[in-house]
Amino acid sequence: MAEKKFTVLDLLDLELSGHDALNLKCIAGRRGLPRAITVPEINRPGLALSGFYEVFSSNRVQLLGRGENAYLQKLHKEKKSDSLRTFFQQEMPCCVFTYNLEPTEEFRQIAEENCCPLLQTDLTSNEFSKRIIRVFSNQFAPHQTLHGVLVEVYGIGILLNGHSGVGKSETALELVERGHRLVADDIIEVRCVNGNTLLGRGANTMISHHMEIRGLGIINISQLYGVGAIRDQKEVQLIVQLEDWDSGKAYDRLGTEQKYMELLGVKVPVIEIPVRPGRNLPIIIEAAAMNERLKNMGYNSAKEFNQNVLKWIETGDAVSSYTGNDDSY
């Protein structure tokens, strides 16, 4: 199935807030809202408006600020509409006016004739440029869909992985009960942002904060535990692989050798946790999260333990403890 295109209408419909809000509204050319945005960049069309099109990036979103708008006002007074008609023949996705600037009536009319959307924002040109580049970086980032549960434990984004029925959802529910946060259950969409950061969120925002518990059914985490128990997205920093206990398998008991899984070209630490009756998985995962935070701060418990043991052996204390005459114990 072909991947859904990102259109101008999708740009308008993005639910962004705070420092990410674009504050866009369509003021003309609504028939062109289904136009696709194929390049995650913007262009200032000052040279194009003056008639220079040899290196004009028509496939980008066109940003018009005070300088471009002043030039449009000059063209309007001189009644030079031919340059505007040539400009709109370039099949651009849309034009955005910053500072809440109003285009000339002639500019609106020609845009309507060519079905080119005209958008308006109250942001400055510089601020809008920064925000829309962040939006494009997220929307056009390479992505992958995974089966699992994504939770935030002590600030660490943990992807619970494993075969169906191993207990991922039940473990995540216990973590939420203990004060941690759910990002998404079952279907996780992971995007690679800036080439080295994996952001995970629910593939379907309508159901991402719901969980299916066998024997209980579908539950709404935000309604049961409050909005403090959920978040929309989180960086994937650790993968926990849950698997059935295999008595014949040698599990890592020291933690000196770190395993990794590669997702979208980024290596993510992986730990394997065998599932067995009596093992408290939420507490183990909490300990794994805190241990990962320590590693990020430069402290590795397993390596320090290994180094202390080697120093103890080198000093000869290890030999004397077994060959000495002290039998006080």
Looking at per-residue pLDDT, the higher value among 286 and 73 belongs to 286
Q: Out of 168, 180, 209, 234, pick the active-site residue.
A: 168
Residue 316: pLDDT over 70:
no
CA distances in angstroms from 295 to 86, 88, 153, listed in the order given:
59, 55, 15
Q: What is the pLDDT of residues 144-176, one digit of tens each?
A: 999 999 999 999 999 999 998 888 999 999 999
What is the reported pLDDT for 1?
Answer: 39
Domain residue ranges in the chain: 8-139, 143-305
Q: Out of 180, 186, 209, 210, pick the active-site residue.
A: 186
Q: What is the pLDDT of residues 39-59, one digit of tens each?
A: 999 999 999 988 888 889 999
10 belongs to the catalytic site: no
Q: Span 197-202, mean pLDDT?
A: 92
> Which CATH architecture best describes the domain 143-305?
3-Layer(aba) Sandwich (3.40)
186 belongs to the catalytic site: yes
Alpha helices in 23-81 (DSSP H): 46-49, 66-78
253 belongs to the catalytic site: yes
CATH number of 8-139: 3.40.1390.20
What is the reported pLDDT for 329?
Answer: 47
- pTM of the full structure: 0.76
What is the reported pLDDT for 246?
Answer: 85
Q: Span 278-300, mean pLDDT?
A: 92
Per the structure block, which two tokens stand in for 12? 């308008």
Residue 300: pLDDT over 80:
yes
Residue 234: pLDDT over 60:
yes
Q: Fill in the DSSP letter of residue 30.
A: G
